[in-house]
Structures are given as C-alpha cells and as structure tokens.
Amino acid sequence: MQYRNLPGTTLSVSELSFGNFMFGSHMWGKTPADAPEGVRLQNLAYDLGVNFFDTGDAYSNGHAERLMVDTLKYAGRDKIVLSTKFGYDFYNDPGAAGSHKERKQDFSEKFITFALEQSLARLQTDHVELYQAHNMKLPQMVGAAGAEFVAAMEKLVTAGKVRHWGIALGPAIGWREEGVAALRQWPECKTVQTVFNMLEQHPGREFAEVAAETGAAGIIARVPHSSGILQDMYSPDEQFDDHRKFRDRNWLVFGLQKVEQLRHIQKAHGGTMGQLALRWLLTWPTVTSVQPNIMNEAELREFAGACDGGLLSAAEMAEVQGLVESDFGLGAEAHACNLKSSVDAEGHTRSGYQRGAAVPLVG
C-alpha cells in the first residue's frame, strides 16, 4: 500500500480509501447486509494497509457511521484517518426506502454543529480528520451563505472537533461549477470528492487540473470503475434492480466495447481491468485516494493490490485520453452521459472537457 499527503495538511492517507456507505443498504446491489461482515471487511482493509475510511451520517441514517466504531477500536483511533459527511437533514426528512429522491439539505451553522455532535456520538470519537459537505450546491456556496458556511467550518476546526474539511459531490456525475468554485476560491477546502474514471473523465479531469494549479486540495475519486463496467463483470444483456437501472443503457452497451479497446493496456500491466482503472486514476498526481465500491474480500484484495506504486506511462495516458475524446470511435451514442449542472437551465449539460473557470463565491 502506498500513501499520499493530503495537500495543505499533515495527513498521509492510503491510496485506497474504504467507503462503507453501502453496508446495510440495498441501494448498491448485493452488499453485506449484516454488520459483522461489513466490519470484518473494514478491519481486513486496515490489515492490508488502508488507513483512510470514509462514511457519512446520511448513509442508512447513521447506520454506516456506527459500523466504524469497531474498526476504530481494532486499529487504534490514532492510526485511522476518519472522514464523514453532513448536510442532509435526515432527522426531519428520513426519506423512503429505495427512493432516489433527494432529501432536505441544511448547511446552516446551527445544523452543521448539531450534525457533527450526532456523528461524533455515533462514531464514539471526539473528532474527525475530514468533514465533507455532502452534495452542496452552488446557491449554498455563493455570497453571504458561502461566507457563513466557511466561517462555521473554521470554528469547528478551531474547536479541534474537525481537523480539515472538504466537499463531496454527487451522487450524479457533474457539479463542475461547485467543484471548481471550492478548489479556486476556498483555500480552506482540502478535498473534492467526485465521480471520476477512465470512461467518465469529466469534470474529474478538470478538478484534477485545477487542484494542480492551486495546490491546496486533493481529489478523492469515487465510482472509479464506472459502476462495474471497468471490472469485467457484465454481459451486454445485463439487467439491474438497483441504482444502475437509472443509467442510460448506452453506458452498458458501449461501455463493454470501450473496455476491449483498453484491453492491451491492461495486459501490459499484468493485472485486472479493475486494477488498471485504479492505476489510471492514481497516475493523476492530485488524486489523493481512490474509493471503489468494495463488496467482498476478493474485491478488497484486488483493489489493495493495485495501490502498489505501478502507474501508467505518459504515452498510455495520452492514448486513453484520445480514446475518450473521440468516443472510442463508436459514434455520438457512445458519448459519456450528461453531467448534472446547477447552472444549466435543464439541470444537465453534455459532458466534455472544459477548463474550470472561477465562480464568484462572494459578491
């Protein structure tokens, strides 16, 4: 296992981070539904060198956070870089099982302070190393609201209950405006977590480039396997009954064809396609850690094995980039899915490379 410094901090985090959001939930396919198996995988991840664990208060309404308690004791609290998230008021809006409807958000100082105290109690700790605003939107980041938010977060840092803070974008792919704004105009923001993978490069690529310019934050890449496409686990007629059913069918049909065009690079590296996907991300210097969905022990060991320092060459990176920008020569229907956007009139925009422009947060 290799480790990277989180820019602007003294934190050294494992290249593989363990996100436990799926445990106890059926939103993500066949995942460990019982706490013992989820905890066993977390503890094994630590044994394999993982020190960066990411959870969130809204995941199963506090359940995922509680699953971290045993692992914190197993490893020793000082050995773990612990991250959790906030912003969804599931106390007043618990949501409906199986629903993808977004719940009420609250980024006021009063709610943030309350939510942190609840999280610390569930986690049985007095602090978290990283506290991430969960799917924050641009209106909540600009003007007086944005200034008040930063002030509230810095109060928590001063109090010692939060070491550093960042933002986690999603669940949909996109939110370019939010990520660029945080990276360019919030030097206090130390992470941007986003969907980023070989097949769906935007806006992750832009975030990685802006992070390199500012030097103030690191990128946490989630969905690094494009929801399983880059794991050689599907057939063209695959059917889904979880979150993947909301994906455009072209994601599957053309995604499998795209993978075959990457096969020679996989073979050159001697690992699985899933490992190549992680190595591609880690070749970006500003990607601090990758966070795949880890469903079982075999996947955990496979993904940990990819974080061994083996990166892609400049020629290989350029080849992958060219394939993506040309839609792998498969035509317009093979283009990566549209991006969610808080400024587009219809709420989404065609994915594609776009240099991040500064977004005024105060004014």
> Percent of the chain at pLDDT above 90?
79
Q: Is the pLDDT higher at 33 or at 59? A: 59
What is the pLDDT, as a whole number, of residue 90?
A: 78
The answer to whether the CB of 97 falls within 8 A of the CB of 242 is no
68-110 confidence digits (pLDDT tens): 999 999 999 999 999 999 998 878 877 666 555 677 889 999 9
Listed range (26-30, 39-43, 164-168) with the worst mean pLDDT: 26-30
Cα–Cα distances in angstroms (integers) from residue 290 to residues 260, 286, 304, in the given order: 23, 11, 10
The answer to whether the CB of 349 falls within 8 A of the CB of 181 is no
Domains, in order of start, for the chain? 3-349 (3.20.20.100)
What is the pLDDT, as a whole number, of residue 24?
A: 57
Q: Is the pLDDT higher at 90 or at 319? A: 319
Confidence of residue 23 (pLDDT cuts 50, 70, 90): confident
CA dist 191 and 179 (Å) reads 10
Cα–Cα distances in angstroms (integers) from residue 237 to residues 93, 186, 225, in the given order: 37, 45, 19
172-225 confidence digits (pLDDT tens): 899 999 999 999 999 999 999 999 999 999 999 999 999 999 999 999 999 999
What is the pLDDT, as a whole number, of residue 362?
A: 44
| Residue 294: closest CA among 281, 278, 310, 282 | 278
> Percent of the chain at pLDDT above 70?
93
Confidence of residue 61 (pLDDT cuts 50, 70, 90): confident
122-152 confidence digits (pLDDT tens): 999 999 999 999 999 999 999 999 999 999 9
Strand order in the sheet with 128-134: 17-19, 52-54, 81-86, 128-134, 162-168, 189-195, 218-222, 287-291
What is the pLDDT, as a whole number, of residue 59?
A: 83
* Dihedral over alpha carbons 2, 5, 80, 185 (to 10 degrees): -140
CA dist 286 and 7 (Å) reads 9
